[in-house]
Amino acid sequence: MSTGTGDSLGTALNELLRDHQVQPLRRLSTYHAKHWHAQLSRLTKTPRGYEALERAGLSVRPETLIKWLSDAEYNVRPKYREVIHAAYESAAAVPADPIPQSFKDGQFEITGVVRTGDDERVRGGVTSSGRITAPLRIDGRSGNWVEIERKWAAGELDDDSFENDFIDHVIIEDIGEGTDGWDFPGTLYTVTAY
């Protein structure tokens, strides 16, 4: 069991995903050079850098590469500077960990204000009249996680995207459209996954 809490459903979902010990797309802190020469010098110090140069399509003779490295003021064509920069950015990026299958297969319990059509209620908490309500339960195995995984891998899964895509591709896939779509207008949500 793991839990995520936040001021929106998307924030709670992102917290829950982080609780699964997965890392998003990130940048290596050792890659901070701005000038093409410093970038090229950094790239040529590691196999990761040489692989990035190769993927970016840098094809120069070793003698040319040595000339470039020995003189920071060497007149390198703009096209090559662009390739070096692209390789540098590629080498600096660390791919996101994949979303674990155990997360996607989870049983999710959502606590907070849930609205579908005109029906708005507190789920998984105590109402103003003192009544205890059940959380909204979602079976992640019914979901279509492709778009969520794509955005996660690209570093585009912000809180709003996660909420919208979770509604569209997980909630609706599991329990349907609802009366008039799903909305989570509250200010505090907890999502627990089993």
Q: Which two tokens stand for residue 186?
A: 């509250």
Do 113 and 87 reside in the same domain of the chain? no
Based on the domain organization, do 102 and 70 belong to the same domain? Answer: no
**Cα–Cα distance, 124 to 136 (Å, whole number):** 7
Tell which residue, 187, 188, 194, 185, has the closest CA to residue 167: 185
CA-closest candidate to residue 97, choices 20, 12, 163? 20
pLDDT tens digits, one per residue of 111-161: 999 999 999 999 998 877 888 999 999 999 999 999 999 999 999 999 999
101 and 155 together in one domain: yes
Question: Does 178 have pLDDT greater than 90?
Answer: no
> Do 138 and 174 fall within a single domain?
yes
pLDDT, tens digit, for every residue of 19-57?
A: 999 999 999 999 999 999 999 999 999 999 999 999 999
Across all residues in the chain, what is the average pLDDT?
A: 95
Give the model's pLDDT for residue 149: 98
Average pLDDT of span 9-16? 97
| Contact assessment for residue 142 and residue 173, using Cβ atoms and an 8 Å cutoff | yes
Q: Give the tokens for residue 2.
A: 């793991």
pTM (predicted TM-score): 0.81
- In the chain, the amino acid numbered 34 is K
Range of the domain at 49: 26-94
pLDDT at 179 over 90: no
- The answer to whether residues 71 and 44 belong to one domain is yes
Collapsing DSSP states into helix, strand and coil, what is residue 4? strand
Q: Is 192 helix (H, G, I), strand (E, B) or coil?
A: strand
DSSP SS3 for 32 = coil
